[in-house]
């Protein structure tokens, strides 16, 4: 099914049972991620934005509602089929970097391509190209504990790009970085967006969202509080 939306959540809710209590982490939200957009999912701690990230990234299934990835309702996909589509379509950048400690920078970047069954030589060439792109060619054979936080984040970005995904989903991409390194990471995400990648960031920082995103979904208490879009440099509230 061809659609302008690469990801869409329709009336999506995520509930957790805590003893006799039902916690509504997300309560019937609607989100449309259009191809080539730069979207910020923004909200304070406990607002539901991290749960939203897992659902947007097809890392979790909804309690109710529908999640579409490239027009496919993920509820009806086999886990192996979903993993293949997700692996090709979405690159993840996690706040804690999530690098494998006993793998070198190059081996960490090669890993997602292994799951897509790419040839080892191709994996090596691609990983080296990406590490050069993020200016870490001299650190390819270093392990994560031999890298600074900023360098680890750049390895995480290179890994996210390994399968040339259409969508980059970043959780608090500057949260563990100093100001200068954070600005460099955001400049890189902007460059990827200019080249046609769809960028989604999850953040609690309104200044970061306003400076870089084109669409902002503000989440509070599990609901979408507002949707804002930047048109010709000006923000307009859509709801």
What is residue 128's predicted lDDT score, i.e. its pLDDT?
A: 96
d(Cα 14, Cα 236) in Å, to the nearest integer? 29
d(Cα 198, Cα 203) in Å, to the nearest integer? 16
Model confidence pLDDT, tens digit, residues 96-140: 888 999 999 999 999 999 888 889 999 999 999 999 989 999 999
For residue 70, give Cα distances in angstroms to 1, 149, 177. 8, 33, 32
Q: Over the Cα atoms of the chain, what is R_g?
A: 18
Give CB contacts under 8 A, 24+ apart, made by 69-72: 69/6, 69/7, 70/3, 70/6, 70/7, 71/1, 71/2, 71/3, 71/5, 72/1
Domains of the chain, CATH where assigned: 37-58+84-231 (3.40.50.300)
CA geometry: angle at 167 spanning 87 and 35, to 5°? 130
The per-residue pLDDT string of the chain (239 residues; one tens digit each, 9 = 90 and over) reads: 557 899 999 999 999 988 889 889 999 999 999 999 999 999 988 888 889 999 999 988 899 999 998 888 998 888 888 888 888 899 999 888 889 999 999 999 999 998 888 899 999 999 999 999 899 999 999 999 999 988 998 999 999 999 999 999 999 888 878 888 888 889 989 999 999 999 999 999 999 999 999 999 999 999 999 999 998 888 988 76
Residues 6+ apart with CB under 8 A from 201: 38, 39, 40, 41, 170, 171, 172, 173, 189, 208, 209, 212, 213
Is the distance from CB of 211 to CB of 222 less than 8 angstroms? no
Is the distance from CB of 69 to CB of 58 less than 8 angstroms? yes
Is the distance from CB of 104 to CB of 111 less than 8 angstroms? no
Residues 6+ apart with CB under 8 A from 30: 9, 10, 11, 12, 224
């Amino acid at each position: 099914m061809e659609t302008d939306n690469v990801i869409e959540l329709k009336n999506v809710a995520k509930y957790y049972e805590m003893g006799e209590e039902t916690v509504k982490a997300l309560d019937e939200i609607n989100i449309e991620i259009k191809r080539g957009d730069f979207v910020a999912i923004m909200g304070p701690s406990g607002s539901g934005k991290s749960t939203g990230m897992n659902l947007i990234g097809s890392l979790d299934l909804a309690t109710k509602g529908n999640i579409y990835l490239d027009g496919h309702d993920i509820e009806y996909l086999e886990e192996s089929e979903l993993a293949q589509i997700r692996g090709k379509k979405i690159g993840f950048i996690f706040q804690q970097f999530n690098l494998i400690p006993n793998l070198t920078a190059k081996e960490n970047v090669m890993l997602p391509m292994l799951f897509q069954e790419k040839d080892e030589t191709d994996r090596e060439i691609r990983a080296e190209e990406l590490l050069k792109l993020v200016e870490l060619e001299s650190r390819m054979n270093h392990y994560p504990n031999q890298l600074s936080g900023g360098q680890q984040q750049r390895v995480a970005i290179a890994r996210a790009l390994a399968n040339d995904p259409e969508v980059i989903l970043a959780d608090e991409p500057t949260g563990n970085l100093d100001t200068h390194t954070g600005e460099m990471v955001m400049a890189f995400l902007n460059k990827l967006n200019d080249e046609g990648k769809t960028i989604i960031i999850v953040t609690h920082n309104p200044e970061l969202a306003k400076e870089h995103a084109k669409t902002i979904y503000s989440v509070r208490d599990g609901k979408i509080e507002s949707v804002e879009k930047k048109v010709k440099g000006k923000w307009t509230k859509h709801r």
